[in-house]
Amino acid sequence: MTYDLEFEKPLAELEKKISALQRKGERMKADEHQQLQEAERELRRRTEEIYSKLTAWQTVLVARHKDRPYAADYIRLMCDDFFELHGDRTFGDDHAIMTGPATLNGETVMFVCHQKGRDTKEKQLRNLGMPNPEGYRKAARVMQQAEKFDFPIICLIDTPAAFPGLGAEERGQAGSIASNLYLMSRLRVPIIAVVVGEGGSGGALAISIADRILMLEFSIYSVAPPEAAANILWRDTSFAPQAAEAMRISARELKEIELIDELIPEPPGGAHRNYQATADNLKEALVKQLADLRRHPLDELIELRYQKFRNIGKFGRAVV
Amino acid sequence: MVKEAEVPSTTQSSSQQQARPRKPFAGNLALKCPECKEMLVGRDWEKNLKVCSRCSYHFKLTAYERIELLTDTDSFVEVDSDIISVDPLNFVSRSQAYDAKLREESENVGLNEAVIIGHATIEDYPLALAVMDFRFIGGSMGSAVGEKITRAIELGIEKNTPVLISSTSGGARMQEGLYSLMQMAKTTAALAKLGEARLPYFSLLTDPTTGGVTASFAMLGDVTIAEPGALICFAGPRVIEGFMHVKLPEDAVTSEFVLQHGMIDAIVHRRELRQTLARLLHFYGKTNRKSSEFLEESHSHVHQTR
């Protein structure tokens, strides 16, 4: 996997040097062995250095990286078994939302996730991870089922936004999102939402009303995609990096202002450098949080969830 | 996706703060209908509730104008009028700081925020209400708007009355980042509590209702009604056209469109709104006119079974 982002240039050069040396194999001279070791050390050091101070926009690029693991990857790496449930029983099956029961740490949990596509064909199938109303209705159906069977719900969030199309409007995009917020605020099972890539606006929120909101280290969560915010406030989408900076969309900043509960660390260079390590970190966080949530009687859990969202917001009082 | 529309300029600066009802066009002799281009006589137009006499185009109303239109005379009691927005992220765009923008907007519009809340009666039926005002940063929802909407819903629960929210909004307010998005969750969670208390919620959609407001409380009415010709959508026509590279038909994503597609219950002309709400309050308000024994029974029932 090559370093292909603009700010990773120094890393790409080091990597080139390393692979050139490695290609020599047994023909490598003694001092070249040393060079190789040094270059590898340097690569690790520089990677950690660069990734410890990513700008908001650089974080956006990592969160959108083409090789970043998606929900299906995490489910495969964390769970013993998964059976996908399809369709909203009304209109269709939205492949931008993936749902179904899985075995996590010996327990049945219900996954409700966004799913993006890797190649062109799958991207089209997954609609770039942008759900239509039938996707949110499938999520609602499956979450109600989880409540019925007392399965905890785990939502993996990764969408640029809900799909902005005329068909989506015709089938009630706004209402389907709103209904999910309503439903999730009272569901009588523990809910954990984890932003694993892009948490884009209402499209993300629609499956994110949870007892705990977690974020992977280099994921983003924002009121609108940076491009859309730039278009509104700067009247020019090329100001997306400035909008990203101003909106405080990184996991670290959102943890600082306590809008999320936990930041899950990613391996150096981002989740796409080591799927298994990221999945292990995610699993550890999920198992710990689930055990913690199970301590609360259900009535208390629901009230705590209500208070969690009830108390979000900063406002003042006018001086008369 | 959310958008924020431009705030229409008013023709008169407001020297008296919080004056109600404001008459921004007072003194205007004539104006042009943006829909059919008819020239309207200012006085007649006001008498006609700011509806075009030729094509029925519904001009925007300010929050206080709408409260005056809908509620019994002098019945409205405003609460929490002093809640204001702060600038939690120190947000700056195009070299304008958000808190400066807030001050400027407050001065120009003469309101503390984009929503007015309180309680009132309609034909003697008591209710809690929140009425949004598009002039204040396009009716966008940040923490203060979310808090006030939530308090209006809680007021309904506390006073055991139905709740009415009159929406007009460009969506979530960008300048407060994720705080704004979370107001969708907060207001909706409060509506779920209202629902568990079996109190009715009426949603009135006015031009325009879009973005995060549509995707939260606006579309969740037990009964949802809209004024004719209002823009009602999640993603605005410009967003859809830009994204899909298509041209939308003129009447796409309007009140008529959402009614046709089954998203709302009725379209009601402005002059019939008050009467319609009174009828709804009569239908749905029966069980909770005064805290009846029936209600207390159903409350304990809810607790036992849930």
Q: What is the complex's ipTM, to 2 decimals?
A: 0.96
Instruction: Work out the average pLDDT over B2-12.
Output: 41
The reported pLDDT for the residue numbered B252 is 87
Q: Identify the weakest region by mean pLDDT among B92-96, B255-259, B262-266.
A: B92-96
d(CA A73, CA A196): 11
Q: Taking CB atoms and an 8 Å limit, are A170 and B234 in contact across chains?
A: no
Give the pLDDT score at B286.
61
A128 touches chain B (CB under 8 A): no
Q: A170-188: b or e for each residue (b if 16 or more CB lie within 10 Å)?
A: bbbbbbbbbbbbbbbbbbe
Q: What is the pLDDT of residue B72?
A: 97
| Cross-chain Cβ contact A168/B235 below 8 Å | yes
How far A187 CA sits from the closest chain B CA (Å)? 11
Q: Is the pLDDT of residue B292 over 80?
A: no
Q: Which residue in B98, B103, B181 has the most chain A C-beta atoms within 10 A of its own C-beta, making it the best mutation to test that interface?
A: B181
Tens-place pLDDT, residues B168-210: 999 999 999 999 999 999 999 999 999 999 999 999 999 999 9
Q: pLDDT category, B9, cuts 50, 70, 90?
A: very low
Cross-chain Cβ contact A185/B185 below 8 Å: yes
Question: CB–CB of A165 and B244 under 8 A?
Answer: yes
Q: If you measure CA to CA, which chain B residue comes closest to A241? A: B93
Q: What is the mean pLDDT of residues B243-254?
A: 85
Helix (H) or strand (E) holding A147: helix A133-148
Q: What is each CA distance from B281 to A71, B66, B205, B287, B293, in whole angstroms?
A: 47, 18, 17, 10, 19
Give the separation between CA B26 and CA A30, rounded to whole angstroms. Answer: 90
Under 8 Å between Cβ of B172 and B181: yes
Q: Under an 8 A CB cutoff, do A315 and B147 touch?
A: yes
The structure tokens listed for A17 are 């040097």
CA distance B82 to B118: 12
Report chain B's mean pLDDT, rounded to a whole number. 88
Q: How far is A66 from chain B (nearest CA, A)?
A: 21
Choose, out of A155, A166, A227, A245, the residue to mutate when testing the contact with B (most B CBs < 10 Å). Answer: A166
Chain B nearest CA to A260, separation (Å):
10
Burial class of B274 by CB neighbour count within 10 A (0 to 12, 13 to 18, 19+): middle
The whole-number pLDDT of residue B248 equals 86
Judge: A182–B192 Cβ closer than 8 Å, yes or no. yes
Which residues in B lie closer than 8 A to residue A228 (C-beta atoms)?
Answer: 1-3, 239
What pLDDT sits at residue B14? 39
Please name the residue of chain A whose CA is at the shortest distance from the CA of residue B259. Answer: A170
Residue to mutate among B188, B203, B233, with most A CBs inside 10 A, is B188
Q: pLDDT tier at B16 (50, 70, 90 boundaries)?
A: very low
Which of B84, B178, B234 shows the shortest C-beta gap to A162?
Answer: B234
List, in sequence order, every residue forming a beta bridge with A110; answer none if it has no partner: A101, A153
A164: nearest CB among B84, B188, B235: B235
| Buried-state track B98-135, b at ≥16 Cβ within 10 A, e below 16 | beebbeebbeebbbbbbbbbbbbbbeebbbbbbbbbbb
Count how many residues are written for chain B.
306
Comparing B225 with B287, the larger pLDDT belongs to B225
CA distance B184 to A243: 21
pLDDT (tens, 9 = 90+) of chain A, 320 residues, equals 789 999 999 999 999 999 999 998 888 888 888 999 999 999 999 999 999 999 999 999 999 999 999 999 999 999 999 999 999 999 999 999 999 999 999 999 999 999 999 999 999 999 999 999 999 999 999 999 999 999 999 999 999 999 999 999 999 999 999 999 999 999 999 999 999 999 999 999 999 999 999 999 999 999 999 999 999 999 999 999 999 999 999 999 999 999 999 999 999 999 999 999 999 999 999 999 999 999 999 999 999 999 999 999 999 999 86
Q: Quick check: A318 contacting B, CB < 8 Å?
A: yes
